[in-house]
Amino acid sequence: MTALCNLDVDGQLLRVARRTGRSDMVPLLLINGLGASLELLEPFAQALGDIETIRIDLPGTGGSPASSIPYRPSGLATLLNRALDLLGCQTVDVLGISLGGAITQQLAWQHADRIRRVVLVSTGTGAIMVPGAPSALLSMLTPRRFTNPDYMADIAPALYGGRLRTNPELAAGLHRVLKSGGTRGYYWQLFGLIGWTSIHWLSQIRQPTLVMSGADDPIVPPVNARIIARLIPNARLHIFDDGHLGLMTSVDELAPIVHDFLSAPAA
């Protein structure tokens, strides 16, 4: 069962979806990518079965209003940490995809006492990383794909890669599950990332970490996952045969891998 609510975190409203799970398992916080609302990860949350999941629309996405000024990843980590306080979650696991992966890295480093295990999907180290295809990066400079379904269907195969290249129905379905948070929120997320990098402190992340990347990712090439897995001391790498949105398009394959990682006994 999934419950939706609006949470006031020190004046910033956040839309939250909380799906119940087993009380003896650590909840999983899911952090979405650039401009994406929490609906995008609903199928993945369901596929995790007995793990409780918490999805939060970042400021300016979905049902969370944009902030007055951009948040840096450090500020978003503080905001989410405070939200977990209000939700009564002492210890959580965290999964972040793309931009959400950057915030997840920041959370794991900045609030290490709260984060038990980490899953990083289709993400990099920010300003210092191997860049994606120029055409894909240019497409991400505008939120048009969230507001125009025809445009999303046209660019999704080349932008996200993987199974979207050969299955246009998957691309058309993306727009149906996304709720745009508006232009300002989208650009605030982009501006907040300028100059950010985790490259100099990744080696200080001590949590067990699963690093996942699609073999055909035009936005974040999989070499970035290899770099992250090499820098984090207790990390393992999984390259899957899909693209940037593999958590959505290969959910039946990837959800069991994440579930097994999160539910495994502590080493």
Catalytic residues: 98
Cα separation, 59 vs 130, in Å, equals 27
Which sign does the torsion angle of CA 108, 125, 63, 26 carry? negative
Query: 39 to each of 8, 33, 36, 55, 187, how far by Cα in Å?
Result: 20, 12, 8, 9, 20
DSSP state at residue 126: B
DSSP state at residue 112: T
Q: In the chain, what's the furthest Cα-to-Cα distance?
A: 48
Burial of 263 (0-12, 13-18, 19+ CB in 10 A): middle
For the chain, how are helix, strand and coil distributed in percent, rounded to 5? Answer: 40, 20, 40
Going by C-alpha positions, the residue among 221, 200, 201, 224 that lies closest to residue 211 is 224
Write out the two tokens for 78.
């503080």
Cα separation, 236 vs 43, in Å, equals 24
